[in-house]
């Protein structure tokens, strides 16, 4: 067992100073004081010294097998090193493919999910990639979701982007409907993660699907919603109507200069407009490329997304006046609820023992995942490679 003393507990709601008892992979007790002398068996005691203890971060969009390639094979990005996730306080990861669904396969994506689990993290993934029709493992999206435990839904499927395969509204609606029903039958989220690009179509496809069958709207998780100002405005309207939206935390200065809305700014806009905060998530787009295209659509440069960008967004939101308990929602409670990740996103009795102790600068100092220390006071406990 592990006993964390004197933690300033965020569940993510702020509870204040408390002791947290962990046994196995779960939280056994939370109280103002827990006396170790009365516990059965050996206990490792850690003093949090009044630092914030928060739920482990959930990164719901990571190219765990690498991404990119829009500038040729030499521009493919590397797969995720789990140590980089741990340093960012990420304990739960959702893997996606991307532009390249040929040289990067669903088989390798699933294998990487299993590797991350063996290395101490929690991981799931989506079936499919940018293009429609996409490959599945069983030949059917419904069968993949229902019969392959780590597969939660479909994505990321590209719309309003020059790299999209131009799926019709009917094709997209069928994918969303199939994913939703498969989720109902299997107890999973059954969501469809849609990549939004810079083209004028924006979220028109999503609105068309919702107009035809409103119940499908909550099964769609659009991402990159801050890419430009028009898309950001559409995303706010989508959320106001009851939809959910995801904002990417990885960026480069040229994107922001070109009109991108940061994830932290998006959260501020939600608060200012009175949009329920359970309708927004953040994700890093980790290991995905951040390509820069010229007017002819040729890639002329790129960066690489990082899980650590979640921490940057958290700090930015708090500096702008967002209370920590609210700034945590897009990377804890919200993705856990939307993706139906049982035991994730909260620190309460019976939940999974995924916990991050933040330092005075809100940077992850200690990380516990599934009841195991993966990082202590800034030092990795062991290599996760």
Report the C-alpha gap between 55 and 72 in whole angstroms: 39
Helix (H) or strand (E) holding 303: strand 299-304
Residue 233's CB is within 10 A of a number of other CB atoms, namely: 14
Tokens of 67: 């991404």
Q: Which residues contact 89 (CB under 8 A, 6 or more apart)?
A: 54, 56, 57, 310, 311, 356, 358, 364, 367
Token pair listed for 271: 């608060």
Helix (H, G, I), strand (E, B), or coil: what is residue 15?
strand
Distance CA 66, CA 80 (A): 7
Residue whose C-alpha is closest to residue 191's, from 214, 217, 169: 217
| H-helix or E-strand spanning residue 178 | helix 169-186
Q: Compute the distance between CA of residue 338 and CA of residue 207 in angstroms, rounded to an integer.
A: 19
Which residue among the candidates 59, 144, 285, 352 is catalytic per the annotation? 285
Instruction: Compute the distance between CA of residue 214 and CA of residue 170 in angstroms, rounded to an integer.
Output: 14
Q: How far apart are CA 279 and CA 239, in angstroms?
A: 6
Answer whether 192's CB lies under 8 Å from 178's CB. Answer: no
- Which residues contact residue 155 at a Cβ distance below 8 angstroms, ignoring those fewer than 6 apart? 96, 126, 128, 191, 192, 193, 194, 195, 221
Is residue 157 within 8 Å of residue 197, measured between CB atoms?
no
- For helices 204-212 and 169-186, the axis angle rounded to 10 degrees is 60
Structure tokens at 228: 């430009």
Does the active-site annotation cover 144?
A: no
**Calpha distance 189→175 (Å, rounded):** 14
**Which sequence positions are flagged as catalytic?**
285
């Amino acid at each position: 067992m592990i006993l964390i003393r004197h933690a300033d507990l965020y569940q993510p709601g702020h509870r204040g100073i408390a002791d947290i008892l962990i046994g196995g992979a779960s939280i056994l007790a939370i109280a103002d004081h827990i006396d170790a002398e009365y516990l059965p068996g050996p206990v490792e005691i850690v003093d949090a010294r009044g630092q914030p203890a928060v739920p482990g971060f959930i990164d719901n969009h990571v190219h765990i097998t690498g991404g990119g390639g829009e500038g040729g094979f030499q521009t493919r990005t590397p797969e995720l090193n789990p140590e980089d996730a741990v340093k960012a306080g990420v304990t739960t990861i959702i893997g996606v493919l991307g532009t390249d669904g040929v040289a990067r396969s669903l088989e390798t994506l699933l294998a990487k999910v299993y590797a991350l689990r063996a290395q101490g993290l929690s991981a799931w993934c989506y079936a499919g990639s940018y293009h429609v029709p996409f490959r599945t493992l069983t030949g059917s999206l419904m069968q993949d979701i229902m019969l392959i435990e780590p597969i939660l839904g479909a994505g990321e499927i590209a719309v309003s982007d020059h790299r999209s395969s131009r799926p019709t509204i009917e094709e997209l609606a069928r994918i969303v409907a199939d994913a939703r029903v498969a989720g109902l039958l299997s107890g999973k989220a059954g969501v469809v993660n849609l990549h939004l690009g810079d083209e004028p179509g924006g979220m028109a496809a999503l609105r068309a699907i919702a107009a035809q069958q409103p119940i499908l709207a909550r099964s769609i998780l659009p991402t990159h919603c801050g890419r430009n100002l028009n898309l950001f405005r559409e995303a706010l309207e989508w959320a106001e109507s009851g939809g959910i939206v995801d904002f990417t935390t990885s960026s480069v200065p040229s994107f922001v200069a070109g009109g991108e809305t940061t994830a932290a700014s998006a959260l501020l806009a939600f608060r200012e407009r009175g949009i329920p905060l359970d309708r927004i998530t953040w994700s890093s787009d980790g290991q995905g490329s951040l390509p820069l295209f010229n007017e002819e659509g040729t890639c002329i440069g790129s960066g690489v997304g990082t899980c650590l960008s979640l921490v940057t967004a958290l700090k930015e939101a708090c500096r702008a006046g967002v209370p920590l308990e609210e700034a945590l929602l897009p990377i804890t409670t919200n993705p856990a609820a939307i993706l139906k990740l049982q035991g994730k996103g909260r620190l309460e009795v019976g939940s999974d023992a995924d916990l991050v102790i933040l330092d005075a600068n809100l940077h992850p100092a200690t990380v516990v995942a599934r009841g195991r220390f993966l990082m202590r006071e800034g030092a990795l406990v062991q290599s996760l490679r």
